[in-house]
Amino acid sequence: MPFFSAEPAYRHGTPTRTAVLLCNLGTPDAPTPAALRRYLGEFLADHRVVEISKPLWWLILHGIILRTRPAKSAAKYRSIWTDGGSPLAVWTEKQAKLLRGWLGEAGVPVLVRHAMRYGNPSIASQLDALKAEGATRILVLPLYPQYSATTTASVFDAVYAWAARTRSVPELRFVNHYHDHPGYIDALAKKIETHWREHGQGEQLVMSFHGVPERTLHLGDPYHCEARKTARLLGERLGLAETQLRVTFQSRFGKAKWLQPYTEPTLIELAKSGVRRVDVVCPGFTSDCLETLEEINQEAREAFLHAGGEQFHYIACLNDSPAWMAALSDIAQQHLAGWPLQPANPGLRDASRERALACGARD
C-alpha cells in the first residue's frame, strides 16, 4: 500500500487559500563541524548536485569528504556568521516576510513562507505548514534567477517527493527562472549604481556567477546561457562597453572542468595586467551567503590584492533592497495570475458564503 504522510483532516467550511513558497539552497544550523557534516551530507548526496555513479560517490562522500571538509567549512562559516545566524537564512526569512507585505499592499493577500532545499526549514515541513493553514494553491518560487538542474530542478524534486506521499495534493505552480525579468535587472543595476555613487566606479566590473560542471551545458542545462544573458542585459542597462566588464564563474568543486573563465584566476590576471580597482557583483545570488561573503569578499579579495591590485570593491547582493522586493512581488504576481485569492480578512465572510463553502463550493 502507498505511504501517505500525516496531514490535517479535511474540514468542510474551511476557506481555501493561496500561498507562495520561497525556496533557497540552504545553510547549516550552526558554524560547527557537526552541523556542517549533517548539511553537507544532505547537500552532496543529491544526485542533481553530483552526477556520478551513486555507489562510487557514496564511498567518496562518506569515506573522504565528510571526514575532512566539515571542519574546514565550519571555519569559513564562522567568519561570516551573524548574531541572527547564517546570512543566507537571515536574508531569506526577511525576504519572505517582506514579500507578503508587498503582495498585500498590491491587493494580493497570500500566505508566504520560506524553505531551504537542504537544512532547515525544509521544503516538506513548510509545505505541511501551508496545508495546515488551508493552502490549496501553492506557487513554488526558487530564489535562483537562472535555471539549473543542480538548483531549480532539485527544489522541484523535493516538492514532487513531498507530493508523492501526500494524499490531498494542493494545486502547484513553479517558477523556472527570471534571469531576464526587467525588474530583476533593474534591481541589480540600482544596487551597482548606488555603490558607484558612494564609492566611485572601478576600471572593471566583474560579474561572478556560481559555477557548474561544463558537461551540464552540453547536456542541455540552460544555466550558462541564462547567466550570460543576465550579464549582457545588466551591462546594457548600466551603459557599459564590453571591455568594461567580465563574466566569470566561481565555486569550482572537484577535478572536472567547470564553466569558465574562473573568477579568482581572472581577478589575478586583471591585477597582473595593471588593473588597479575592480568592482565585483554576484548577480546569480539574491542573498548574501558563504559564496559571496567568504569566497568573494575574503578569498577573492585577498587574491586580487596579493597579485598587485589596489582596490577591491564587493557589491552586496540584492538582499532586502526595495527594488528587488518590488521585482520579486511582480514575478510572484505574474505567476499567481488567474488563481482566486482569499480576502485580507477571511473572518469577514458573510454567513451565506460560509454555508456555501460548507456545501462544497470553492473559492
301 in Cβ contact with 270 (< 8 Å): no
Helix-helix angle 66-78:33-43, to 10 degrees = 120
User: Does the bond joining 261 to the residue before it have cis omega, within 30 degrees of 0?
Assistant: yes
Give the C-alpha separation, 60 to 136, whole Å. 42
Give the C-alpha separation, 325 to 155, whole Å. 21
Is the CA virtual torsion 80, 83, 89, 92 positive or negative? negative
* Residues 6+ away with beta carbon under 8 Å from 298: 79
Give the C-alpha separation, 62 to 212, whole Å. 22
236 a known binding residue?
no
- Look up residue 24 and give its DSSP letter: E
Give the C-alpha separation, 256 to 45, whole Å. 18
Which residue spans within the chain are E strands per DSSP? Answer: 17-27, 111-119, 135-142, 171-174, 204-210, 245-250, 277-281, 311-315
117 in Cβ contact with 27 (< 8 Å): no
Amino acid found at 202: G
313 a known binding residue?
no
* Residues 6+ away with beta carbon under 8 Å from 34: 70
* Residues 6+ away with beta carbon under 8 Å from 115: 21, 22, 23, 24, 121, 122, 123, 125, 126, 127
97 in Cβ contact with 337 (< 8 Å): no
User: What residues form the annotated binding site for Fe(2+)?
Assistant: 210, 291
Residue positions in the annotated binding site? 210, 291
